[in-house]
Chain A
Amino acid sequence: KQEVTQIPAALSVPEGENLVLNCSFTDSAIYNLQWFRQDPGKGLTSLLLIQSSQREQTSGRLNASLDKSSGRSTLYIAASQPGDSATYLCAAQGGSEKLVFGKGMKLTVNP
């Protein structure tokens, strides 16, 4: 059974820092790994999707990497801004086509 872990559960940083968010998964037989952002009281917004054949994806200040052999994915946020404050979730999709989510990491970027 796939298990996805995100540590730490919360992070508070000053504006301008480069951030590393971690995601680990137990079953390396995945189709893809997806990162989401969730604002309070809102739904999930897809940030980046990395297919199993890829090593990384980039969108603006965001870069996500995937290492299937070690069961890890990392989301890098460059030059963090207060508007980046949100909960970030990662989800692994395997052969059953189901998304298995981590519990998320609440990020606060202080001005």
Chain B
Amino acid sequence: NAGVTQTPKFQVLKTGQSMTLQCAQDMNHEYMSWYRQDPGMGLRLIHYSVGAGITDQGEVPNGYNVSRSTTEDFPLRLLSAAPSQTSVYFCASSSPRGKAEAFFGQGTRLTVV
């Protein structure tokens, strides 16, 4: 049972480049979310989804897009990377409808130069 899988684990981007962070879960969870973790700021919610076809913004959504075409996958897209997006990104999933234990991926460490 893989749980929540994030790829890649590390990435270096140049300012202005775009990329997609992948997140997949095999637990049939309805609720999935993306967080970024920065020193002194803790974990902040970027976007979340309560099911396939449904997404919503979290606390810090600017510069990021998401989509949820299947229950299993919830990719995070950086449209035009900026140095301020240098961070560690975590994907999480839970069920039912978020009112239960959350499972986290191992994270993607992104550096924008």
Is B101 a contact of A49 with CB atoms below 8 Å?
A: yes
A61 within 8 A of B: no
Is A43 a contact of B104 with CB atoms below 8 Å?
A: yes
A46 within 8 A of B: yes
For residue B109, which residue of chain A has the nearest CB?
A41
Is B31 a contact of A97 with CB atoms below 8 Å?
A: yes
Cross-chain contact of A102 among B31, B42, B50 (Cβ < 8 A): B42
B105 within 8 A of A: yes
User: Given known contacts A32-B99, A89-B43, A101-B43, is B107 in contact with A42 (CB within 8 Å)?
Assistant: yes
Residues of chain B within 8 A (CB-CB) of A34 are 101-102
Is B42 a contact of A46 with CB atoms below 8 Å?
A: no
B97 within 8 A of A: yes
Is B98 a contact of A97 with CB atoms below 8 Å?
A: yes
Is A103 a contact of B40 with CB atoms below 8 Å?
A: yes
CA distance A41 to B10 in the complex (A): 11
- Write 25 A-B pairs (CB below 8 A) sorted by A numbering: A31-B98, A31-B99, A32-B100, A34-B101, A34-B102, A43-B90, A43-B104, A43-B106, A44-B92, A44-B102, A44-B104, A45-B104, A46-B103, A49-B100, A89-B43, A91-B102, A93-B99, A97-B48, A97-B99, A98-B33, A98-B45, A98-B98, A99-B43, A101-B42, A104-B42
